[in-house]
Every structure is written in C-alpha cells, then in structure tokens.
Amino acid sequence: MDILQTDIKHITGLGPKWRTLFMEDMDISTFDDLLQLYPYRYVDRSRIYQIRDITNDMPYVQLCGRFISLQTIGTGRQQRMSAMFTDGTGQIEIVWFKGLNYVQQQVNYNDEFMLFGKPSAFNGRYNIVHPELERADRAQIAAGTLQPVYNTSEKMKKAGLNSKAIQKLMNQLFNVQLQASVNDTLSYRILQEYHLVNRSTALRILHFPKDHREIEKAVFRMKFEELFFIQLGILRNRNINKHKQGGIQFSQAGSLLSDFYAHHIPFEPTNAQKRVVHEIWNDMCSGHQMNRLIQGDVGSGKTLVALMAMLIAVGNKLQACMMAPTEILATQHYEGLSSFVKDMPVRIELLTGSTKKKDRTRILADLANGEIDILVGTHALLEDTVVYAHLGLAIVDEQHRFGVQQRAKLWSKGIVPPHILVMTATPIPRTLAMTVYGDLDVSIIDELPPGRKPVRTEHYFHNKRNNLNAFLRQQLQLGRQIYVVYPLIEESESLDYKNLTEGFEYMKDAFKEYNVCMVHGKMKPDEKDAAMQSFASGQSHIMVATTVIEVGVNVPNASVMIIESAERFGLSQLHQLRGRVGRGADQSYCILMTSVELANDTRQRMQIMVDTTDGFRIAEADLQLRGPGNIDGTQQSGLPFALHIADLAKDAKLVQYTREIAEKVLADDPYLQSPDNQGMAQRLNQLKNSSINWSVIS
Ligand code: ADP
Ligand code: MG
C-alpha cells in the first residue's frame, strides 16, 4: 500500500480530537490529504514594516513592537477592544470585535509581538482590525524564512489546531516520518517533457519554502497534477465507455431528412445549426453510442437541430424521443415539432403526467409496436411502462434539470443503447464544460438566426418605478405584452409571495384598462396553466410571475421583461429570464429593477447584463465573479474530485493545456496499461475511490 494513504492518526502529535476536527472540518484523513492542505499565504518573516511608513495602498504589513494600552469599549453586542501598539517609529490602533477573552489573555505589555494585518484609514489615522498576533521570535526573523499560513476553522483554532500547529505537524510528517520520500504521481516522461518539479520537491517547497520564485514552480506543478488527473480520468472513462458501448450505426441520412430539407423546412438553417447537425450525423455513423451536449443560447434554434437529428433516426426506421423538464415546455415542443412535419409521414405523440388514461394506453401500445415515430414528453418518458419497439435516439432538453442518472435511465430503453443528445441553454464556459460535462462531446450553436434584434437592457432603481409606466403603456398600446418576474426562494418564501402579490396589485392598479394575470408555483396546476394560457393567447397583457416562467413559455409577442429584485438573481438566471423576450421581430426590452444600495459585485453583474446579450460572455463573467461551484446548473454536477490548489476560473489555460496532454497520453495508451503509466493509473483509482459521491451528482 502507498504510505501516503496512511491514516493521519499515525502522525506523532496528532491526537484523536485533532483527527476528528481534520476529518470533519477539512475532509482530511490520510497523509496525502494533509500534504494537500496547501498554505493560502506566506508571510515573509524577514520583512518588517515600520509604523511611520504605513501608507494607504499597503495590502498587508508585518509589524514588530509592544502594546502600550488595552481597553474595552462599549457593552453588549457593540463591545470591542482597542489597543495601542508601538514600534518606536509611531503608534497604531489595533481593534478587535470578536474573541475578546482570547485577546485579553494574549496581550501584555512586556513581550514583543509580531502583528500581521491590513492597515486601514479611519478618521485620518491608521488602524488594524483583527490582526494575526504572536510573540516575536527574533531567531526566526533573522533566519528570514517564508512562513506558510494555513486555513483553519474556528473550531480548529479553539482546539489549538491553528496554523502554527499545522506547520509543526507538517514538519513531523514530511521531514521526520516520510523523510520527504514521496513517490511521484506523474510519469517520468511527463515530468521531463513538461519541465515539472517532482512531487516530493514541490510539496517540500509549498510547505517549507525558501523564496517566492520556487513557490511559483511548485504551485504550477501541483495545479498541473490536479487538472491533469481530472482530464485523464474523464478521457479514459470515455475511452472505456466508447469501447464498451457499441452504438447503432446509421448508414444513411435517410429520405425523411432530405424530404424535410427540400420541401418543408420553413427557413434556411444558420451555419451553426448546419455544423452541429453534421457533428451529430458523424456520431451516428461512427458505430459508437453518441453522447453529445448541444449548447446554444436561448433562441439559437436548438429545436430545429433536434428535429433534424430525429428525422435521421426515423429515416433509419428507428424511433426517437424528446424529453423536457416541464409540461408546458413538452407541450410547446410537441406543437412546434408537429407543425414542422405536419405534411410529412411522421407520427408524433405527447406523453406527460396529465395524459388521460385512455390516450396513455393507446400511446404506449403504439409505441411498443413501432407505430409512433417520435414521442415527446416529460419525466413520464422514464417510467418503466414506456417501452419502445426500437429506440434510436433520445434527446433531453434543458439538461441542467436532469442528471447523469436520468440520462443513464434513457440508455436502458433499448437493447443497443440509443444515441443521446442533450441540449442546454445554459452556456457554460469551455473549460468548465470540459470538466463538468466531461463524459459528453460538446457542440456549440454560437449564432442566432438572422434578423433578431438584441434585447435592450436597462438597470432601474425601484424608487423610480413610476417613471417606467409611460414607457410600458406605450408598449401595451403597440399591442405588446409584459412580463414582471419576482424572485422566490424557500428561505424567504412568505415575504417573497407578499412582494409578488403586491406587485400584482400595483400593476393592476397602474394599468386598469389592461388584463393582468399572476402565475406562481403554489397555484393548482390547472389554475397555473389557465393563467399561462391566457397570457400566451394574448388575452392577458401583463403577467406577474415567479421564476416558474424561466423555462418554457414562448410568447413572441412579449417585448418587455421586468426583473424585480434583480440583485437576487445570478447572472445566468438573469440571462435565462431575459431570453423570454426578444423572440419576435420587435425590439424588446429587459428592465433590471434593483434597490439603490448595491454591493460592488452586484453592480458589476447588472452592468454586464446591460453591456452584452452574449450568453458565453455572461457565463465567463459569472465564472470569474462567483467561481465554478456556483454556476447555475452545474453546482450539482460537481467535479470528479475536489480541487485544492487549481481554480477552474483562474487556471482556464492550464485546464486546456492539461487536457491536451492527457489526450496525448491516451492516444498512445488508451487504457493506461503500459508500465510507464502504471503510477498514473493507480493514482487515478485512488482519486476515484476517495471522493466521488455519485449520489450528489444528480
Ligand atoms: P432554443 O434554442 O431556445 O430552443 P428555438 O429552437 O425555440 O430556440 O428557436 C427559436 C425561434 O427561432 C423559433 O421560433 C424557431 O422557429 C426560430 N428559428 C430557428 N432556427 C431558425 C433559422 N435558421 N432561421 C430563422 N428562424 C429560426
Ligand atoms: Mg428550446
């Protein structure tokens, strides 16, 4: 067994209490895990600033001196402690709001202290709030080493397991117990070819560094390792799946597609649509099962691509199905697809939870005897009673509402697994798609049909709401319709519903001569449908709703989308909502309504929405602002294993780079069987066993 897989309890000085804390708060249980607890910062203990030199633009300073006063100010929740600290060149105020007992114990007037913190100006004077504090160690200052600082939880600190303690454990483990003998996880060849520091050296540098230049090299090496193994794992699995999963091999595009293309298609496909259909066609001819993701912004025409793919399947005497996340969306797909092929010999049916028993029985029977060519529906398609005569293609629309397991369920609907096409309107940056949807090939529809006018977006403060009404009235007089969307989250549900109903009353009052309808999740399904229907048919002019309208509704006549409390939505959700307008020929508008006081990043988010309608740019910005874990629709997908040092947003280039290298490795050795690659194969298995929790990947 690899010594690095040893339980951390075997580290001298690490008792059961700390072990539990490590496991619970940091998910660390082996030597290897601990070594991958990287310092988040290094303090240059040789660099000491003087108080008189402090300026406004210093991010962090280290000071060495003594306390000359300490007092408690205020009472109760307002209570804080203030101390004066001097180093002979000046004085600076130090302030604490928390942990006052601890401060009281630590601070004295006799010892020399080192302080580390960020100075800020207050009333024309500098102070430091909550600095790191420790007794000065002259020997260490003289030695001038970089001191690693480790992240710890409050609980850990309370139990004495602070950064200093971790430093000691690290030393005990690495320099005493392991004596730095850490095997490499990367092959010798890769180390050589890409000029990487070996693992043992990199870990030594990260935990016991000499200077910043060597840290950079070590960081690169460990980031490389993390990202490389993610890509290697994904790509190897794909090789294995492709090998295992034969697929239905299509030999012809079929007469249906050519008939459709020649006589029935209502418009010329965009180049992007053509390219994607071609990519799908190539997959279908390959003899392997297709697993392809189509990313295309709202309105980019994914439905047409889906239809053409289905016509290929049907033209090859096979059946196709298309699954959507909501009943409304499934119905719209059914209607849209039916009208595309209304003069063609293609039979389409719709199956949802509310299909009448009689119809359901008939549909299921006709499906099983092969008389139905295309079945459109909701989750109902996954039920065991749904049996196909010969399913050749399964399409899932709006991927982020479904998961890996549901896709897998679709596979089982044929003896030879059907080809799978997944469509999403959530643009995901390439680097992220490469990792999150690693098991899928990705096609991108990056072009909108001609003649679309980009939605014009404006940011409005809610206290100026009345100024908007003249404009809204003008739109209504032109015969357009308006959406007003309110956020709704569980935690503040009752307040959110109150805002929604107040908004409904406000609009009814402000636009008395128009019909206003309201839609939200608490309504009975038939009430909800009726309200949606009244808006879709144009009977209602204004729809006040929660985000239930995010997916689905297609009302080309709606030209205004007002998003209330827009600050509470993420970028990609705002983009999705905005996609509900701009579907017709008219100029459309999106109004982002927020409160006046906004945090900086919220302001940035609104500005991005105002500046661009490009979903990919928005997704990139989202990734930058929020980090990969929070991108809508991907948080549940998760990564195959946790990243400790690399960052998908910041290290996008390295993601691409390691991807290419992993591809090269696997091109020579698809299943990692060569002796050279044994170490990497082993590492992959270790990582796989360690932290994938399939149950959370939904
Ligand atoms: P989405 O990608 O959001 O699912 P849809 O498939 O609903 O987009 O298409 C949006 C609208 O654009 C539909 O009304 C569709 O008929 C129309 N459309 C699709 N492709 C084209 C095209 N090549 N030229 C013109 N209109 C198109
Ligand atoms: Mg669609």
- pLDDT (tens digit per residue) in 584-641: 788 999 999 999 988 888 999 999 999 999 888 888 888 777 665 544 433 334 455 6
pLDDT in tens, 2-54: 889 999 999 999 999 999 999 998 889 999 999 999 998 887 767 889 999 99
Asked whether the predicted pLDDT for residue 689 surpasses 70, the reply is no
- How many Å lie between the centroid of ligand 1 and the Cα of residue 591? 24
pLDDT in tens, 484-540: 999 887 778 888 888 999 999 999 999 999 999 999 888 887 888 888 889 989 999
| Whole-structure pTM value | 0.65
Pick the residue whose CA is nearest to atom 11 on ligand 1.
299
Average pLDDT on 641-666 reads 86
- How many Å lie between the centroid of ligand 1 and the Cα of residue 584? 10
Pick the residue whose CA is nearest to atom 5 on ligand 1.
301
Q: Tell me the residue length of the chain.
A: 698
Nearest to 31, CA basis, from 12, 11, 14, 55: 11
Q: Is the CB of 304 under 6 A from ligand 1?
A: yes
**305 or 250: which carries more pLDDT confidence?**
305
- Closest ligand 1 atom to Cα of 556: 14
Separation CA 33–CA 295 (nearest Å): 36
**250 or 85: which carries more pLDDT confidence?**
85
- With bands split at pLDDT 50, 70 and 90, how would you rate the model's confidence at 690? low
- How many Å lie between the centroid of ligand 2 and the Cα of residue 301? 7
State the residue for tokens 């994938």: 692
Give the model's pLDDT for residue 355.
Answer: 93
- The C-alpha angle with vertex 269 and arms to 268 and 270, in degrees rounded to 5, equals 115
> Per residue in 25-43, is it b (16+ CB within 10 Å) or e — as a string?
bbebbbbbbbbbbbbeebb
Q: Is the CB of 584 under 6 A from ligand 1?
A: no
**224 or 615: which carries more pLDDT confidence?**
224
| Contact yes or no for 67/43 (Cβ under 8 A) | no
Could you tell me which residues come within 8 angstroms of residue 449 by beta carbon, excluding any fewer than 6 positions away? 267, 270, 299, 300, 301
Pick the residue whose CA is nearest to atom 25 on ligand 1.
449
Give the model's pLDDT for residue 669.
Answer: 93
- Cα–chain center distance at 476: 38
- How many Å lie between the centroid of ligand 1 and the Cα of residue 613? 17
Nearest ligand to the C-alpha atom of residue 298: 1
Give the model's pLDDT for residue 315.
Answer: 94
Top mutation candidate among 261, 293, 304, 398 for ligand 1, by most atoms within 8 Å of CB: 304
The secondary element (H helix, E strand) that includes residue 294 is strand 291-296
Give the model's pLDDT for residue 627.
Answer: 60
Average pLDDT on 652-674 reads 91
| Contact yes or no for 493/524 (Cβ under 8 A) | no
Question: Measured between alpha carbons, how far apart are the two ends of the chain, in Å?
Answer: 33
Give the model's pLDDT for residue 694.
Answer: 30
Nearest to 61, CA basis, from 114, 25, 103: 114
Nearest ligand to the C-alpha atom of residue 446: 1
Separation CA 175–CA 187 (nearest Å): 24
- How many Å lie between the centroid of ligand 2 and the Cα of residue 302? 6
